[in-house]
Amino acid sequence: PSIVSVDQNGNLTARRTGDCSIIARTADRSVVPGMLTIRTVDLTAASSWASSAVNAYYLRGLLPAEFCTGFQKAVTRAEMARYLYQLCAYELDLSKLEVSYVYRDIGDSDYADAILACTALGLFSGTGKNTFSPDAPVTREQAAKLLVRTMELLTGQKLDASAAPGYTDAAKISKWAAPYVSAATAAGLLRGTSQGRFSPASGLTREQITVILERLTGALDAQQKAAA
């Protein structure tokens, strides 16, 4: 009842995020025709600036239910893999994807399968010898690389990384990340933080990642429409 309430007419009202089972019986309780397991989500906790994009991405069926809460929480590398796997599994046929267990520190992660799949797709690489650091926060410059690689994977086209993004803290962006930051900025996937900075070492929240992925899928929609 704390998750979903049911009135006398059988109408369901979601109360909070969670899992529950609903059993329907005939009036004399002689038959149990079925049981439906549902998960309710509450998107109202997203910040006002992110609300529209969060709702749009959820309605696409791409926002994992477990991330429909705690929108201001920092996203870990493992969680980022879960976000990207959800998108790639929707856009691509991954039934024949071959994965290798290449990391020794993901055994306890709920998202080990997503991590391995995203690695096999060429989106992720480890943080050290046979390590992934699943609980470490994903940084903005790491996100730039992941987003660019995802966009290129789904479109089959190389993004332009030639234009300098012009951030005031460009010197703080890692050398390996600079081309990805340029490409992600030019493609409209990432924007600055404040006062013209990029803040490469800063983390990203769930609502920020969701807004960015909604931009990415919007760009995919536009490309597919143009090609039709």
Would the pTM count as exceeding 0.85? no
**Smallest Cα–Cα separation from 172: which of 220, 148, 139?**
139
Is 24 strand, coil or helix?
strand
* Per-residue pLDDT reduced to its tens digit, 186-223: 999 999 998 999 999 999 999 999 999 999 999 999 88
Q: From CA 36, how far away is CA 71, in angstroms rounded? A: 27
What is the helix (H) or strand (E) element at residue 84, kind and residue range? Answer: helix 77-91
User: What does the alpha-carbon distance between residue 121 and residue 124 come to, in Å, rounded to a whole number?
Assistant: 8
List, for residues 48-98, the tens digit of each pLDDT value: 999 999 999 999 989 998 899 999 999 999 999 999 999 999 999 998 999
Structure tokens at 23: 């059993």
Q: Closest Cα to residue 141, out of 177, 183, 167, 166?
A: 177
